[in-house]
Structure 1
Amino acid sequence: MEHQPPKHLNSSSIPQEAFDWYDEYAHGDIDRRTFLSKLGTLGMAGLSLSVITGALIPNYALAEQVSFNDPDITASYLEFDSPAGYGKGRGYFVVPKGISQDNPAPVVLVAHENRGLNPYIKDVARRLAKEGFVAFAPDALFPIGGYPGNDDEGRAMQKTLDGSKIEKDFMSAAVMLKQHSLSSGKLGMVGFCYGGYLTNTLAAFMPNTLDAGVPFYGTPATSHLKQIRGPLMLHFAALDKRVNATWPDYERNLKENKVNYTAYTYPNANHGFHNDSTARYQKDSAELAWSRTIAFFKQHLAA
């Protein structure tokens, strides 16, 4: 299935400042009014403010690569206990055809951005299942009603939660998933943005549980870095100044502790380049990063 950004705009059609401002807006550094005001100063010929905004803000109708009706997978929801977190969690559980207790598969935990379990992250879980992995994508917003259907509200909701409890919920999800009856006992994790941070965090705090981690443009955990064993595959966007500023210190820690890691930086790519619902999407880089991710999981999660 071929994907195009909304309104047929791509990264080359929009000035870099717009992506930088969207990143500030998406991460709470500026509010929506300021974001729109800044966009209004660009004066791009032939492009209205509504068109530019529509290209930058996710349109999830464009993000489905694998249908929930795909005959090769079965998608459902699964709850899990999280006594150290919010008590109970819930996530999207996708199983490849043919997987059973007698024929288990490697499992992959999928961590969303800072706005809850949106349709893009669900599709990522389905893509993993199409590749033969049992995938589970928890919704950090479940304790307060779940992803509300749009990113602005989801982002506002997630800001009200205790970050340490979200981390504990994902740790509980990791333990549940690794021990699940359909699991081969090998656990991987992939996360995007805030989910990349969560992937780095579980790698630091649960080195004996996580068998392979793939953070996309994620910042590192702030402690327990010496516990990381890896293997890790880290994906970065060349234009992502905020996250990239944290990488030199993180990489130095990984090298000092002899962690098995591989890092890739994708040229001319913005934060969120894998998300095919916005103009930040960079098709070639996204597909390359994803193919590398799948190969990495198949290498390190094989029984």
Structure 2
Amino acid sequence: MTLPSNDPARFAQAAGAPAPSAIATDVTGLEAGVTTLPGGAPAYIARPRTGGDFPIILVAQEIFGLHEHIRDIVRRFAKLGFLAIAPDFLIRYGDPQDAPDIEAIRAIVAKVPDAETMEIFDQALAYAATKGGDATRAAIAGFCWGGRIAWLYAAHNPQLLACIPWYGRLDGAHTPAQPRWPVDVAEELKTPTLGLYGGADPSIPAALIETMRERLKKAQAPAEIIVYADAPHAFFADYRDSYRPDAARDAWEKALAFLRAQGVG
């Protein structure tokens, strides 16, 4: 796999200066960089330098865009033997990395049609399969806004073997661009799913998580939601003050075990 040179890694301006706890995963033993999907969307991709038929993990970015934290997660998966790819499904409507504050980012995100996002992830999966990935062993993991996308994409593509949404919003404003939310697709879910949420996250209240659990149970969907009682939103984001090392470590281990149990990894 030959990739163009990576553009400079940086964290989103609105997320603040990165904390000392920010993890930096090197590219030793990897092929990693920015590429362009057939439909024109950029994507960050990484895989082991040698070998092939790698399990594929699609990574859905935070609301802050395809910045350094998400790229680092892609590299972490690649170090574990995955072909990991994070398509940038926001950039056509504005660059969250350059937005001055969270409200400016929300204005960008509100414009992004879910239908277009699903198409971009379809392209990313197909592209990964041409770069040494095994499309029959594919999963998605999403963080923050990308957690919402992970739920939706799992409903869109039931051939995925696993879905791991990290603190993705479960309900919100229903608009022409974003007409459905995870609570609306719970009954359609066929992909084994492990949701990882914080119990101290005011943006995703406990009552809403229980509603989601009830809908999943009623539909007999193969899904479980784990809540870390004292963890805030973005507890896995090691570059932010919200980072909770113990919860993040446990959730990462559970996520990897879940992928293995589903035949991915």
Per the normalisation by structure 1, the TM-score is 0.70
CA RMSD of aligned residues (A): 2.7
Q: Does the alignment pair 1:189 with 2:151?
A: no
Equivalence for 1:287: 249
Measure how far apart 1:145 and its partner are.
Answer: 6.3
Matches within 5 A, 1:87-126: 88-99=40-51, 103-126=52-75
- Answer whether contact 1:219 1:247 (CA < 8 A) is retained: no
- Answer whether contact 1:219 1:246 (CA < 8 A) is retained: no
Q: Does the alignment pair 1:66 with 2:28?
A: no
Identity, in percent, stands at 24
SS of equivalent to 1:230: coil
Q: Deviations over 1:122-170 (max 9, x none)?
A: 1111111111111001112332565545673872563363232552344
Q: Deviations over 1:4-49 (max 9, x none)?
A: xxxxxxxxxxxxxxxxxxxxxxxxxxxxxxxxxxxxxxxxxxxxxx
- Answer whether contact 1:77 1:93 (CA < 8 A) is retained: yes
Matches within 5 A, 1:118-197: 118-144=67-93, 146=95, 148-149=97-98, 152=101, 155=105, 158-159=108-109, 161-177=111-127, 179-185=129-135, 186-197=137-148
The residue type paired with residue 115 of structure 1 is: F
Between the aligned partners of 1:264 and 1:156, the Cα distance in structure 2 is 27
Q: Does the alignment pair 1:265 with 2:214?
A: no
Between the aligned partners of 1:255 and 1:109, the Cα distance in structure 2 is 26
Q: Which has the larger radius of gyration?
A: 1
Measure how far apart 1:267 and its partner are.
Answer: 2.4
Between the aligned partners of 1:250 and 1:161, the Cα distance in structure 2 is 25
Between the aligned partners of 1:148 and 1:280, the Cα distance in structure 2 is 19
The residue type paired with residue 118 of structure 2 is: K
- Answer whether contact 2:55 2:82 (CA < 8 A) is retained: yes
- CA change 1:132–1:175 in 2 (3 A) is closer
Per the normalisation by structure 2, the TM-score is 0.79
Equivalence for 2:202: 241
- Answer whether contact 1:89 1:169 (CA < 8 A) is retained: no
Count of residue pairs brought into register by the alignment: 239
